[in-house]
Amino acid sequence: MHQVYRAPMRSRHDDVDPGLAVERALASGVCGVGGRLSTPPSTLAEALARTDDEYDERTARRLERFAAAPTGSFVWTRDPDGLYFLGRLMGEWRYDGSPDALATDLVHVRACDWLARPVPPERVPAATLATFARGGRNFQQTHDATVGADSAALWEGAPPP
């Protein structure tokens, strides 16, 4: 069974445009979460410790869950126009301290293959629509009996990324 996650990629900093991170992620082939750190960490353990110190324990646990999502898991995001994109995690966690990453607060990233086109709204799994309708900024697993199979079918039926 495929694991599926909601990836809103919205910064917790209100001064960051909420759509910029999604646009950057789709264009650069990553999926990520925010949490700029005072100095770039070289390991996940260091990133988790600094996130706990500079933010709080809950934010560090969120980062840990993002990093622990299995490679090959499906991720869904929504762009500023409300269009849904399906991706697949393809790499391990890394910290991106580049100016673009810092500006969009999309610094904790993993390589991700995104479908080149948005998924038509009528084909987006109901569980995915429900997770985005609830709002929020957290990367989180979607627990539903059919969302994994539905996402896999969309992935297999789409042109390659």
Could you tell me the domains of the chain? 4-157 (3.10.590)
Identify whether the C-beta of residue 85 lies closer than 8 Å to the C-beta of residue 114.
yes
pLDDT tens for each residue of 80-94:
899 999 999 999 999
**Residue pLDDT, tens place only, 33-47:** 999 999 999 999 999
Residues pairing with 12 in the sheet:
none
* Per-residue tokens: 35: 């949490």
Rg of the chain, C-alpha, whole Å: 15
List of the chain residues with pLDDT < 50? none
pLDDT of residue 53: 98
